[in-house]
Structure formats: structure tokens, C-alpha cells
Structure 1
Amino acid sequence: MKYSTPVQKRDQPDDSYKFQPLPAPTGPFPYQLDIAQVIPDINTQKMTFHLAGDTGSIRSTDFQRKVITAMQAQFEQDNPPQFLFHLGDVVYNHGEASQYYRQFFGPFQNYPAPIFAIAGNHDSDVNPAAPPYHSLEPFVKVFCDTAPNTVPFSNDIARKSMIQPNVYWTLKTPLANIIGMHSNVPKFGIVTPEQQEWLKAELRSADAERPGKALVLCIHHAPYSADINHGSSIPMITLLEGIFEETGVRPDIVFSGHVHNYQRLVKKYNSGRSVCFVVAGGGGYDELHPIAELSDTRFTNKLDLFEGVTLENYCDQLHGFLRFSIEKTGVQLVMKGDYYSVADDGVVTMEDQFEIKL
């Protein structure tokens, strides 16, 4: 039997020494991007988009290409997605410019919509054996440009650079404020004090626009997880739950990657309110991460931090992606998620559906 709660992986080494300094912002504080600058005709009544993380792979792009092909097929259906929000680890293993064509520009060259992104730990790492470069330097050229340009290392692919103002930033849309964090290189993530203060201000700012807009938070390192490779990130749980408590603001949903599978966890707070934490990191890396077995002594769920958190559904044997929508129905916002797995033969199966009324 497998766990139905988050788990902590015991006896993990401290790798905080892997932390990398952040690059300078490319846009003005408070690092917000109006989606109308990228998609001028964005639907103001219903917004649909894809979410996927950990799409890159140093060994093979076969799984990634099958996932992308399945996502592309949805553009031939009713209510096609308007963009992809990538949850990090675009390029393995060290975020090198030389890997962006093979792992991003080539596979995504026929994806017919804009791609926004937060950086993962692999995007942020630096290869000591390569010619010198700074952490996130290629990522910034691809996603944090000041204007759409041909990326020098894209092999002249038609996709231009994105204009995000920073590696942590907020996407402003008519139906939601989507806050994208940067959690750096270490296995369980590190968020700088400066970013923490920014996050508090962005949460309060987004909360002021409720109930007309949803509040969505994206961070690469999954706070809650039941997988065998990483398990939950205690530093990210402590950080986020502390900030939620301090500000009195909790997001409507939290999306993460880092863990190579799909999980939908729900935390019920003492107030009676629940928040959904979704892991969607099965986007293409060839190694998937199974959910831990109850008999596996490497893991425990005996932590107060896990109180009230339940693993509602998961898919840990197949790659896949999430299709997510936010729709205004009268005065109410309704969020819907559909998670699709993609088998080795390309067969696409809906594995999970959920709905959240705000």
C-alpha cells in the first residue's frame, strides 16, 4: 500500500551550499507582466492554459515530445489553451545555453501558443566543466528579455524570447494573478529574504483584487509530496505556510514541479478552508518518481507540518500534463483541472479532474 499523505524522506544531506546568486531583474519592480502585452485578445470570461514541469531530459527527449504532441492536439479542440505555464526544469542538467535547442526550442517548435516559465533547480545550476557562465543566464535570455527577440542559441527557431521582468514575477490576467517564485538550486529549495518580502507584498496586492480574480501561486520545489525521490520540502512548507499566516493571505491553488509525477494534495486549515497543492512534474524527464510505499522505512509522515494534508489523487507511472481553466460564471469564479497521462504509444488518458469554486 502507498501513502495517502505527504512524506518526509529521512536523513537527507544539507546541500544549501549549491545556492546560486540571482541575476538582476530585467524589468521594473514589482516585476509584474500584463498578459495583454503578450496575448492582446486574451479571453476575459474564460482562460484556459497548460501546466507542465520537468520537460527536459539530458538522455532522451522521446517522452517530452509525446507529451508536447498531446498538448498540441488540444489546439484542434473547442476552447483551446491560450498559453503554457512551465513549472521549471526546462533544461537539464545545468541550464546551459547549448542544451536549449535540443531540450526546448526543438521539441516546442510547433507548440502554437506563448510559453511562460519559472526556473527549476536544473535551470539554475551551473556546469563547472563548461565555459564560464552565470546561473540562469541562458534562462533569462529565453524568458526574461526586454523585448521579443530571436534567441542566439535557438537555431533560428521562430519562437521569440519571452518578456518576463524577473526570475520571480507575477503574471497579471483578467481572471487571475499568477505569482511565479524562484526556489534556486538546492534539493529542497531556498528563497532569498528579498524575494520573501516581495512575495508578501504580491500576496496582499493579489488579495485586494479578490473575489474578481483568483490567486495562483507557482513554485518549482513542491512543498508537499509523497514521492520516493524528494519527498516533501520542509523548508518550502515552513516558508510558505509562515508567510500565509503572517499576511493572512492564502492562494486559491499552488502548482509545483520538481517531482517527476502528478499529485493532487489538499490541505484543510483550522479555519475550515482548503487549498489544493498540485504537483505536475511529469512533463518529459525519462525517470518518473513513484509514490512511497507504507512499508518503506526511508519515509515518515509523522510531522505536525503535514496535519490536514491528504493526497487525493496521483499518477506516477506515466508522463503527462495539466489543462487548467478559470471561468467567470456570473459573479463566481470556477477553476477546473484536467490531468492527462501520455502512454509510451502516445495514447492520452484523463487521469484526474477537479473543480474549485471561489
Structure 2
Amino acid sequence: MDATELERFFFRPPAESAVVRTAQRRLSSDLFRAPRLQTDRSPYHLDLADVLPTRARAVAEAKKLVFHTVGDTGGVNGNGAQINVADHMAHQINNSTLPDQPSFLFHLGDVVYYHGQDEAYHDQFYNPYQDYPAPIFAIPGNHDGDTEDPEETLGPFLKHFCARTPSHEPEAGHSDRPTMIQPNCYWRLNTPVATIVGLYSNVSGELDNTDKGETTQRDWLVDQLRTAPADRCLIVAVHHPVYSFGKHGSTLRVRQALEFAITTSGRPPDAVLTGHDHCYQRFTLKRDGRRIPFIVAGAGGFATYSDLTKVREDTDPPPGVKLEAFDDDHPGFLRITVEADSLIGEYFTVPKAGKEKDPEKLRDSFKLDLRTHKFV
């Protein structure tokens, strides 16, 4: 199947919703697990044109890319909120046209709960997103890597997101969504106006086994920041939050690895997208005259409508960091718009149960000037 054949699966008229089953809750582990790397696909780059060739050309011509992003979606606790979020993202696609139409969802991890099991992908991924008419790219979260058999860590995730060729797996059921062809669990998406570097922060919240002094992914990150096109917006995505005032809190080892990569490469990202805490938070880091938004967008459905992570506003932030906005009451998702000279983020929340047909609400927005690296 070539890219043109793959693209025909997406951006078709919406189908009717289906009933989604729930799965049984399980416990998870905090142990680091060596990721399964597809080293023959190094340096782990994927071009948007490899999946959406005609759309990539349209994005290049318009010099504008729009996409959705959210994490922590797996509806193991009841997936009404997850479907609600998915349906409202789909509605934005179905009621817009290029260049303003979102081109994909970039998932921020924890696609399924609790142990990344293959059988969970039908109920928690393919069925809820059967009406989302665009590709879904992803980075793994801790639950995606926390398979019941430690030797099989990331096995199901790699099967569904890192296939060598697109296919229709049995777990897709009556959804015709094909597997994605990402080259690795951490990887880089090249688009005409933005570069997105996706990281894997493992089950334990670190890029590499720090206790053993390993630096494989960190060194790869240095190279990605160094070689990312200077004339394009640069976004880093990682599941564990660099900064968070939620239950899980900030992730020190991810922060240290990112800071090392920025310092070594000399190239800071324009924005950092994370999940893990089940709420929305937007921080600003002041660094070398820049303003860098660090966002937590982990209210994609797992926490249902009533169990979102509460934000502790009285937490003391690190130097140079400020909490700008948050929402810990509603499931929601982020829409990102990148143009030649700006990055715009808009956070939408979905209506409560029983009111799913009501429109989503814009709860927070920001615009970053990519020339001055300041908000406007």
C-alpha cells in the first residue's frame, strides 16, 4: 500500500457512532522497561507526505498546519467522555476546510489502560475513534509500555502505531482505521511548516535508564533539535509533564534530559506538549529572552467527567516558570495552528454527559510570535 492508497482512508464523510464497551481496571507498574527499538528505521523520521501526500502539498502551499492533540484517552473507566472528546474533534474536521481543517490527531500517550494490552485497542482506541476522519499519530504513555509481560513492553503499541506497512488488524473490528507507520516509539514527524519530535518517557518517567547511565534517547533528542529546520516551528511532545501542579507533578528526569538537549544543541523548542496528569495546564518558561509554552493536555477521556486531576494553585513553580491557565473540571482537547510566523493554541472542553450535542467551549488560547518568541 503506497501513500496515495493510505490517504484514501481519511477525510471521508462521517459514519454513525457505535456503542463502545468498557474494560476491566487493572493496576500498573513503575519500573523502567527498555523500549523495543526498530533500529533499522533510524533516524526514526516520518514525513507527513508519507501518510497524506496531497494534503501535505496543500499545507505547504498555504504555509499553515492545524492539528489536534490530547492524551490519556483510554476509556477503561467508562468511555462516554472519551467518545465525547473524539466526536467534538471530528466535528471540527467535518465542519471546516483546508487550510483551517485539522489534519491529524497527535496523541500524547496512554492510549489504552492499564497494561497496554492488545485486546484493549478495540474498545479503547479503534471504536471510540471510528468517526475521527483523520490519521492519529502517537507517542506511548506509561500505561502503553506497562504490558503484563515485561518482555513484551510496547508490543501492542508498536503493532498498532509502528507497523512497517498499513494494515487492518483484528482489534480494529468494524472500524476501517489502518495501523499507522511511525518508525519507532520515539520519532520525528516532518511537516512543511512544523517539526514535531515525539519522545517516550517510559513507565518510570525518564527517557533512558538514568540509574544505569544510559543516554540513547537523550542523545537522539540532541540530534533532532540540532537538525530540525530552522525556518519551521519546533514542537516537542512527551507523555510525562515537564511542569505540572497536578497529582503526578513535574517529572524531574524528563526536565533534566530536555534541558541537556536544549543546552547541547543550542535549539530550544517553540512549545512542549505533555499529558499524564488528567487535566489542562499551561505554563510559560522564560528562557534566554524566549517565552516557551509547556502544556499538559491529559483530559482526553480516561478521567471521565468527574475524576479529573485537581490543580494545586498554591504550588511554588521553579524559577522562570509561571502557571498561566488551567481547567480541571472538564474533559477537553487542544487544537494547534502553526503558520510561518505564529503558533496558536486553543483548548476546548466538551459538554457534560447528556448534553453531548452541545458545542465545545473555548477555555484558553494563546498566540506565540515565532519571530520574537513572545506572546501576542
| TM-score normalised by L of structure 1 | 0.87
CA distance in 2 between partners of 1:324 and 1:232 (Å): 23
Which residue of the partner structure matches residue 224 of structure 2?
A: 202
Unaligned runs of 5+ in 1: 1-14, 295-299
Which residue of the partner structure matches residue 253 of structure 2?
A: 235
CA contact (8 A) 1:150 1:156 kept: no
CA contact (8 A) 1:27 1:166 kept: no
1:18 aligns with 2:31: yes
Distance 1:156 1:23, change over 3 A: farther
CA distance in 2 between partners of 1:201 and 1:34 (Å): 17
Which residue of the partner structure matches residue 296 of structure 2?
A: 279
How many Å apart are 1:201 and its aligned residue? 0.5
User: What secondary structure sits across from 2:189 in the alignment?
Assistant: strand
CA contact (8 A) 2:347 2:365 kept: yes
* C-alpha distance after superposition, 1:225-259 (max 9, x if no partner): 111x1111111112211221222211000000111
Which residue of the partner structure matches residue 233 of structure 2?
A: 214
1:191 aligns with 2:211: no
- Which of 1 and 2 has higher RCO (CA within 8 Å, sep 6+)? 1
Which residue of the partner structure matches residue 21 of structure 2?
A: none
CA distance in 1 between partners of 2:338 and 2:38 (Å): 29
Letter in 2 for 1:284: G
* C-alpha distance after superposition, 1:282-332 (max 9, x if no partner): 1001231011153xxxxx527xxx10100001111100001111113xxxx
User: What secondary structure sits across from 1:237 in the alignment?
Assistant: helix
Which residue of the partner structure matches residue 349 of structure 1?
A: 361
Which residue of the partner structure matches residue 127 of structure 2?
A: 106
Which residue of the partner structure matches residue 336 of structure 1?
A: 344
Moved more, 172-181 or 245-254: 245-254
* C-alpha distance after superposition, 1:189-247 (max 9, x if no partner): 343511111111111001xx21x2111100000010111x1111111112211221222
Which of these residues, 123, 126, 148, is aligned with residue 144 of structure 2?
A: 123
CA distance in 1 between partners of 2:51 and 2:39 (Å): 16
Unaligned runs of 5+ in 2: 1-27, 210-214, 371-376
CA contact (8 A) 1:19 1:190 kept: no
How many Å apart are 1:343 and its aligned residue? 2.5
Letter in 1 for 2:244: S
Matches within 5 A, 1:133-282: 134-186=152-204, 188-192=205-209, 193-206=215-228, 209-210=229-230, 212-227=231-246, 229-269=247-287, 271-282=288-299
Which of these residues, 316, 324, 328, is aligned with residue 328 of structure 2?
A: 316
User: What secondary structure sits across from 1:70 in the alignment?
Assistant: helix
- Count of residue pairs the alignment pairs up: 323
Which of these residues, 111, 116, 122, is aligned with residue 90 of structure 1?
A: 111
How many Å apart are 1:156 and its aligned residue? 4.7
User: What secondary structure sits across from 1:97 in the alignment?
Assistant: coil
Which residue of the partner structure matches residue 39 of structure 1?
A: 52
Identical pairs, percent: 41
CA distance in 2 between partners of 1:66 and 1:60 (Å): 12
CA contact (8 A) 1:26 1:145 kept: no
Which of these residues, 50, 57, 67, is aligned with residue 49 of structure 1?
A: 67
CA distance in 2 between partners of 1:151 and 1:133 (Å): 22
How many Å apart are 1:16 and its aligned residue? 9.2
CA distance in 2 between partners of 1:198 and 1:53 (Å): 23
* C-alpha distance after superposition, 1:265-295 (max 9, x if no partner): 00002x221211011111001231011153x
* C-alpha distance after superposition, 1:72-129 (max 9, x if no partner): 110233322111100000000010001000000000011100010000000010225x
CA contact (8 A) 1:27 1:164 kept: no
CA distance in 1 between partners of 2:296 and 2:206 (Å): 15
Which residue of the partner structure matches residue 10 of structure 1?
A: none
CA distance in 1 between partners of 2:137 and 2:182 (Å): 8
RMSD (Å) for aligned C-alpha atoms: 1.7
1:77 aligns with 2:89: no
CA distance in 2 between partners of 1:357 and 1:27 (Å): 38
Distance 1:61 1:154, change over 3 A: same
How many Å apart are 1:337 and its aligned residue? 1.0
| TM-score normalised by L of structure 2 | 0.82
User: What secondary structure sits across from 2:119 in the alignment?
Assistant: helix
User: What secondary structure sits across from 2:244 in the alignment?
Assistant: coil
Which residue of the partner structure matches residue 7 of structure 1?
A: none
CA distance in 2 between partners of 1:319 and 1:214 (Å): 27
Moved more, 232-241 or 28-37: 232-241
User: What secondary structure sits across from 2:172 in the alignment?
Assistant: coil
User: What secondary structure sits across from 1:276 in the alignment?
Assistant: strand
Q: Could you list the runs of 4 or more consecutive aligned residues of structure 1 that deviate by over 4 angstroms after TM superposition? A: none
How many Å apart are 1:133 and its aligned residue? 6.3
